[in-house]
Structure 1
């Protein structure tokens, strides 16, 4: 078998990568040892940036039509038990009631992995160049100057065969076989907790307590938050996570798990346990993201605590970043600096989200050291107020982390042009702020959203190739377009006579990459007819940054 790009792993990141590659006209094969079923949805938040990609792919309607109850409240509630004391609550609107923020045409969506993966699979399989090989085991690869040969085994009959590809991408999770064969290590804090997830069914669960319904119930004792229960579908399916610690890996019987659920509820009941997953919560980032013709993506690159909803969403960001670069390489116009930029751009994002997510976990774990939280006394009441305030204030950065989703900037990329002097300390401060997102067109950022007069978002202009937005009328952009044509770099020109959008975009000319990040901006394009070629050589990776 032959293809242009071989993708190992059909989780959400592998499916997104395959779908985006197919959307760009590339041929790829996806190999996965499973059958596509999801018994343990590990994620349930489709972040706002991921939803912007879904808008690009035309699948927003599918996400909004998922089986999740869109009228179910999304409150985060912290309590001693559901029939005990409520310590605090962060009220959040239902998915139907929530509106997109001014900074985006989309909003986050609650669509757990068992609902989101099938949507991504449908999207990927709808692309003419994508072929899915489920129940096939990836074994190893051999790389040479012109491509990669992978050994694969069909599980039904143990038939071994080879797949030849120009490039291979390992989207095969935290225990990535591709990463292991590349000899890439990982660094970070390592094990944070040994956690047990339990999916259970109980249609009447919210009628068994006296609290207002919530999306996530966080149960607190003297160790901080010891467990959470999350509404998986907003109806009858729930996920209980027993947080655990980093010192001891425990395995529980179903009777013990039922006892944990009863402890959280504050009364006895009989949950129908559907599945159990023992997993290790870790903070790790890969030392490298690949080389030559073999790369890794998603959890193969970074392992993070789910306290922030950033793991899968960052992985899909990896996929979109890598996809257009693979497309450029296959088409022949992208230079080697494109692949150098993949790690340079995405690895700092992984370090950022892992630190942020671990910080949220530490806030949960350190919220309480009191054994008197459940006392019916003045001391107990005071402790409950104290802990509720600590969780409420400490976790606001998790609930309202818009800058973690939209504020990722590629600061030292070899395929962005940075003509302006900037305060490095200010860059770091903005980067470390997970909450406050400020739209800008500084090179390396996500180009901002604005509504155009024709009803489109500026984001709807981006994706296929480079886009030059010009807010003044002159002939210079056409010289750039001519140079792009000669270099075979896909470039579309848009001249916009919209003052509000021009003010948001700050400069007369803004060059946006296929992934929607700003490559260059300026008030004037070079007057020298040859200079646009130099600019295009820079952004296509055939020259060091200027």
Structure 2
């Protein structure tokens, strides 16, 4: 056995230095919780697997004060964001196109103070690393491998190995989070299995450098091209930096095959439509598109997050954003447990809240994949014929495909509409659950849902109140809240009161009192203080589980 050093002690150990692990480390540091992140790689991004930072993730970035870091990370925000489906770029047919504003000019929707941003992983990971390092409470160790752990009553002992020296080390932590990807070692040690479809397609990604590609073909510039030939959908290509880097994805099927540089080169030439195109293949990554969700998310002290917990087709851009939602859900709960004001139901609520969201999102992503691959099942071959009949066939196919694909392009409901129904740390108010939509989203302050955004003044949103504390929003100053004040003080809960005199907010939040959790989700609401405010806080901080018996008649009447 390799030499083993003495035991280090840390409140939270994070395994995996991708965007999910980095976001958790940064969020914990922002909350004042020391943590150690270990990553077996060197921190470099071999293949940027994600490129869209979703609107909810950008709301978290706003909370953390790093929006400008994302916007200035390196992507060309003046580059076209159109999506187009073509037979090939030069000389080929364009079947349809969905036009979008350039990143810099895309407006913010009325439901949020932010908008989605284009920031591929090779730009986003350094932003999150900078964020994680900012607090001074996160230690990041690269080339450090997690080997195993033992969980005991008061914490976890993990065994690590320095890959450069071979030296092993024991780390004592209160909690361990595995953010170490689909092949998670933490998940393996836990014995957690995954359910779903292990193989949707075998796909090969290649990062290709090609300067001035837009001048080499006769189509309008675009961010994403879907290539459709007689065999159906055969490849996609996206702008990785909005300049000269492109990610070519050869979309396979259920048959595993090895694709080398020669075939990738031929595929790129076919996509561009010119034999004289000059390009350089920077990296190649074969991967398996999966539809899997973990059967459980871990134990009271060791949990998994991100790709370790759910694997999804990238069609829709849900994967990384869903993982960062996992991190934010965990961040405040770990803070409560480490600082002592949180109870055991906090960690147990993590799987109850996040696993249904994962099932919903991976199913939606697979449905998007099936829509994208529809031309493999049915395609009028006349779309490749010149002349009026071909023109008509192309228009019919293009219009239908464009309309069908809108479900993938417009997904605000997926990104903002997830809710924590049945959570043990949310007190329901008896109102019916609204429809869970994809392309639209109506804000609602129902318990379990994201607290609504309203502009309170130029540049200041209701969302700017949330993050570090439980926030009691009061929309009528005559309503007494002395019971909540006393209960919060007694249990040393991070707690603040915000009096809000805004008609739009009053309408959206719907009741006179709304209690918002640190993650920005509503935990409780009513028109007056309950008879036992301490019970409400005990539920929301995980000391007591919600029960219908505990909802006294007078509390229900107040809702």
Secondary structure in structure 1 of the residue aligned to 2:443: coil
**Deviation larger for 333-342 or 409-418:** 333-342
Q: Tell me, in whole angstroms, the C-alpha distance in 1 between the residues paired with 2:479 and 2:215.
A: 68
Shift of 1:224: 3.0
After the TM superposition, which residues 424-463 of structure 1 pair with which residues of structure 2 at under 5 Å, given as runs? Answer: 427=434, 430-431=435-436, 433-453=437-457, 455-463=459-467
The C-alpha deviation readout for 1:71-98, integer Å capped at 9, x for no partner, is: 1010000011112000000000101111
**1:206 corresponds to which residue?**
214
Q: Tell me, in whole angstroms, the C-alpha distance in 2 between the residues paired with 1:291 and 1:382.
A: 59
- Given the alignment, which residue of 34, 39, 57 partners 2:41? 34
Secondary structure in structure 2 of the residue aligned to 1:290: coil
Is the contact between residue 221 and residue 370 of structure 1 (CA under 8 Å) also seen in structure 2?
no
Q: Does 1:399 align with 2:403?
A: no
After the TM superposition, which residues 11-160 of structure 1 pair with which residues of structure 2 at under 5 Å, given as runs? Answer: 11-83=18-90, 84-160=92-168
Q: Does 1:386 align with 2:396?
A: yes
Secondary structure in structure 1 of the residue aligned to 2:365: helix
After the TM superposition, which residues 396-545 of structure 1 pair with which residues of structure 2 at under 5 Å, given as runs? Answer: 396-422=406-432, 427=434, 430-431=435-436, 433-453=437-457, 455-474=459-478, 476-526=480-530, 528=531, 531-545=532-546
Q: Tell me, in whole angstroms, the C-alpha distance in 2 between the residues paired with 1:543 and 1:166.
A: 21
Following TM superposition, the consecutive aligned residue runs of length 4 or more in structure 1 with deviations greater than 4 angstroms are none
Secondary structure in structure 2 of the residue aligned to 1:452: strand
Secondary structure in structure 2 of the residue aligned to 1:17: helix
The C-alpha deviation readout for 1:448-467, integer Å capped at 9, x for no partner, is: 11111374110010000100
Secondary structure in structure 2 of the residue aligned to 1:270: coil
The C-alpha deviation readout for 1:253-310, integer Å capped at 9, x for no partner, is: 2111110011111121232000000000000000111112100000001000000011
**Deviation larger for 293-302 or 496-505:** 496-505
Q: Tell me, in whole angstroms, the C-alpha distance in 1 between the residues paired with 2:88 and 2:114.
A: 35
Q: Tell me, in whole angstroms, the C-alpha distance in 1 between the residues paired with 2:384 and 2:293.
A: 40
Secondary structure in structure 1 of the residue aligned to 2:407: helix
The C-alpha deviation readout for 1:98-121, integer Å capped at 9, x for no partner, is: 111111111100000000000000
**1:167 corresponds to which residue?**
175
Shift of 1:474: 2.8
Aligned alpha-carbon RMSD (Å): 1.2
Is the contact between residue 223 and residue 366 of structure 1 (CA under 8 Å) also seen in structure 2?
no
- Given the alignment, which residue of 260, 263, 269 partners 2:267? 260
Q: Tell me, in whole angstroms, the C-alpha distance in 2 between the residues paired with 1:353 and 1:117.
A: 23
- Given the alignment, which residue of 222, 233, 236 partners 1:225? 233
Q: Tell me, in whole angstroms, the C-alpha distance in 1 between the residues paired with 2:535 and 2:73.
A: 47
Secondary structure in structure 2 of the residue aligned to 1:309: coil
Q: Tell me, in whole angstroms, the C-alpha distance in 1 between the residues paired with 2:382 and 2:45.
A: 41
The C-alpha deviation readout for 1:212-243, integer Å capped at 9, x for no partner, is: 00000110124432101111011011000001
Q: Tell me, in whole angstroms, the C-alpha distance in 2 between the residues paired with 1:157 and 1:455.
A: 50
Shift of 1:496: 1.3
Secondary structure in structure 2 of the residue aligned to 1:472: coil
**1:190 corresponds to which residue?**
198
Q: Tell me, in whole angstroms, the C-alpha distance in 2 between the residues paired with 1:7 and 1:442.
A: 32
**2:555 corresponds to which residue?**
none
Q: Tell me, in whole angstroms, the C-alpha distance in 2 between the residues paired with 1:74 and 1:154.
A: 43
Q: Tell me, in whole angstroms, the C-alpha distance in 1 between the residues paired with 2:310 and 2:506.
A: 37
Shift of 1:379: 4.1
Q: Tell me, in whole angstroms, the C-alpha distance in 1 between the residues paired with 2:490 and 2:119.
A: 44
Shift of 1:484: 0.9
Is the contact between residue 147 and residue 166 of structure 1 (CA under 8 Å) also seen in structure 2?
yes
- Closer/same/farther in 2, CA of residues 536 and 158 from structure 1, 3 Å limit: same
Q: Tell me, in whole angstroms, the C-alpha distance in 1 between the residues paired with 2:529 and 2:249.
A: 55
**1:237 corresponds to which residue?**
245
Is the contact between residue 447 and residue 518 of structure 1 (CA under 8 Å) also seen in structure 2?
yes
Shift of 1:475: 5.5
Q: Tell me, in whole angstroms, the C-alpha distance in 1 between the residues paired with 2:328 and 2:384.
A: 48
Secondary structure in structure 1 of the residue aligned to 2:323: helix
Is the contact between residue 172 and residue 178 of structure 1 (CA under 8 Å) also seen in structure 2?
yes
Shift of 1:378: 4.1
Secondary structure in structure 2 of the residue aligned to 1:217: strand
Shift of 1:370: 3.5
The C-alpha deviation readout for 1:371-391, integer Å capped at 9, x for no partner, is: 443211444333322321222
Secondary structure in structure 1 of the residue aligned to 2:383: coil
| Structure 1 residues without counterparts, runs of 5 or longer | none
The C-alpha deviation readout for 1:123-174, integer Å capped at 9, x for no partner, is: 1011121000001111111111111111111111111111111000000001
Q: Does 1:293 align with 2:298?
A: no
**2:16 corresponds to which residue?**
9
Q: Tell me, in whole angstroms, the C-alpha distance in 1 between the residues paired with 2:231 and 2:458.
A: 55
Secondary structure in structure 2 of the residue aligned to 1:96: helix
- Given the alignment, which residue of 178, 188, 194 partners 1:180? 188
How many equivalent pairs are there?
536
**2:5 corresponds to which residue?**
none
TM-score normalised to the size of structure 2? 0.94
Q: Tell me, in whole angstroms, the C-alpha distance in 2 between the residues paired with 1:224 and 1:324.
A: 47
| Structure 2 residues without counterparts, runs of 5 or longer | 1-7, 552-559
- Closer/same/farther in 2, CA of residues 181 and 109 from structure 1, 3 Å limit: same
Is the contact between residue 258 and residue 270 of structure 1 (CA under 8 Å) also seen in structure 2?
no
Q: Tell me, in whole angstroms, the C-alpha distance in 1 between the residues paired with 2:429 and 2:102.
A: 44
